[in-house]
């Protein structure tokens, strides 16, 4: 019985430590808000897909990030968002 209680206490202590680490990570995370949204379609056609591809690449180069992609019968639609940090600076370039 005592071993069972000790095991439960150890498991709870591990949970508390994990939650403490998660809270610290969340506090360090920068607060951002979306400042612009864009939907770009890419048609699955050997001659037309390059237009959508170029538009997506331009948007990514201008600080947009992929939020989600949706598959349609004839292609895909990419939902892109541009985010602003809490200090008001807009992310303009992609970084590794």
- In tens, the pLDDT along 55-88 reads 999 999 999 999 999 999 899 999 999 988 776 5
pLDDT over threshold 90, residue 25 = no
Closest CA to 30 of 80, 68, 81, 87: 87
CA distances from 11 to 2, 21, 55, 95 (A): 14, 16, 51, 39
**What pLDDT score was predicted for residue 29?**
72
For 45-90, the DSSP string reads -TTTHHHHHHHHHHHHHTTEEEEEEEE-SSEEEEEEEEEEETTSPB
What's the pLDDT band for 96 if we cut at 50, 70, 90?
very low
How many CB atoms are located within 10 Å of the residue 23 CB?
10
pTM of the model: 0.58
């Amino acid at each position: 019985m005592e071993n069972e209680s000790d095991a439960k206490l150890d498991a709870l202590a591990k949970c508390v430590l994990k939650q403490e680490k998660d809270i610290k990570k969340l506090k360090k995370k920068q607060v951002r808000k979306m400042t612009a949204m864009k939907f770009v379609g890419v048609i699955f056609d050997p001659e037309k897909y390059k237009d959508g591809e170029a538009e997506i690449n331009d948007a990514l180069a201008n600080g947009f990030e992929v939020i989600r992609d949706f598959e349609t019968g004839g292609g895909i639609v990419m939902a892109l968002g541009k985010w602003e940090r809490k200090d008001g600076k807009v992310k303009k370039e992609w970084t590794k």
